[in-house]
Amino acid sequence: MALPALPGSGVAFRRVLAHFPGELSLAFAYGSGVFRQAGRGWDQKRAMLDLVFTVDDPVTWHTKNLKKNWSHYSFLKILGPRFITSVQNNYGAGVYYNPLIMCDGRIIKYGVISTSILIEDLLNWNNLYIAGRLQKPVKIVAMNENVTLRSALEKNLKSAVTAAFLMLPESFSEEDLFMEIAGLSYSDKSPEGQFTQLMTLPKTLQQRINHIMDPPGKNRDVEETLLQLAHDPDCGHVVRLGLSAIVRPSSIRQSTKGIFTAGMKKSVIYSSLKLHKMWKGWMRKAP
């Protein structure tokens, strides 16, 4: 049974969703196909629509999607839905992308991620690929009543605000906070307060920080490291390094996986479009 689109999501999104199997725990759209971009020449209908589908049972979902949308997949489709799901779950950031798809008169790119893997990333920041995307503006297109998922989405935003506070200077504006990460709150930056914030960060980020801070041979536990960091004036910088250590490897792995999931031809076309977009951005900024 297909999920209804949330109020305000628009008829256009419902028409796109109608082309796919309906067993979605969450579907959201993001990017220039949804939100107005700065500068001239923005055309929402011509911009590629980026979507992410969260599914409880990827094997079943891909089985149904292969029947409906066989042409969306690369050569991996001949290996079947179980192999596709294995590639999705075990390589990169846990997402399987089908890019450059013509759907309902628009070019779309959609990623599929397991609900359980997304929840783990939202709570623990295992790779911050989709969790990081959900800290930025997105449009929720469909969502079921999965209480665990909803709780994890909320926890991800709270963790993002906490990390932003740790990286901001002593004094900052509301715009500064939104530039770091969306959220509304405030804390004194005392060592005690910073230690409390550090202890609430997702465990993967805590482990990356511990790896950065722990001298060879010391083998300190995470709590001891975080206590030291809370008194360090470079606390925010170390948090940034920890985030970078999570994001960079997962992005590289996901990009490499895209060559196989999208196919070489689509990968070249998609990369060319991204480079063209970057070039146009640089030209607008040039004096």
207: in domain: no
Q: What number is the average pLDDT over the span 147-170?
A: 89
For residue 37, what pLDDT is reported?
Answer: 64
pLDDT exceeds cutoff 50 at 135? yes
Report the candidate in 84, 39, 30 with the shortest Cα–Cα distance to residue 62. Answer: 84
Report the candidate in 183, 182, 185, 189 with the shortest Cα–Cα distance to residue 166. Answer: 189
pLDDT exceeds cutoff 80 at 39? no
For residue 8, what pLDDT is reported?
Answer: 41
Element (H, E) at 103: strand 95-103
| Burial of residue 91, with CB atoms counted within 10 A of its CB: 0-12 exposed, 13-18 middle, 19 or more buried | middle
- pTM of the predicted model as reported, rounded to 2 decimal places: 0.68
270: in domain: no
What is the per-residue pLDDT across 67-121, written as a single tens digit (0 to 9) for each?
Answer: 999 999 988 899 999 999 998 998 778 899 888 889 988 888 899 999 999 999 9
Return the SS3 of 141: strand
Q: What number is the average pLDDT over the span 184-199?
A: 59
For residue 51, what pLDDT is reported?
Answer: 95
Report the candidate in 72, 9, 12 with the shortest Cα–Cα distance to residue 261. Answer: 72
pLDDT exceeds cutoff 80 at 266? no
119: in domain: yes
DSSP category for residue 218:
T
4: in domain: no
For residue 260, what pLDDT is reported?
Answer: 60
Residue pair 74/262 in contact by the 8 Å Cβ criterion: yes
Q: How far apart, in Å, are the Cα atoms of 46 and each of 12, 41, 72, 107, 272? A: 14, 10, 20, 8, 16
What residues make up the domain containing 27?
11-154
The position carrying tokens 């985030």 is 243
User: Domain tally for the chain?
Assistant: 1
Q: How far apart, in Å, are the Cα atoms of 244 and each of 212, 241, 257? A: 11, 5, 20
d(CA 191, CA 207): 20
Mean pLDDT over each residue of the chain, to the nearest integer = 79
Report percent pLDDT > 70 for the chain: 73
**Nearest 5°: phi and psi at 152?**
-65, -35
The position carrying tokens 């060559």 is 259
Q: Which of 61-65, 148-152, 202-206, 220-224 has the lowest mean pLDDT?
A: 220-224
CATH of the domain at 109: 3.30.460
240: in domain: no
75: in domain: yes
163: in domain: no
Q: Which residue has the higher pLDDT, 188 or 253?
A: 188
For residue 79, what pLDDT is reported?
Answer: 92
Among 79-88, 166-175, 203-212, the range with the most confident prediction by mean pLDDT is: 79-88
Residue pair 48/31 in contact by the 8 Å Cβ criterion: yes
pLDDT exceeds cutoff 90 at 271? no
Q: Which residue has the higher pLDDT, 243 or 3?
A: 243
| Burial of residue 216, with CB atoms counted within 10 A of its CB: 0-12 exposed, 13-18 middle, 19 or more buried | exposed
DSSP category for residue 245:
H
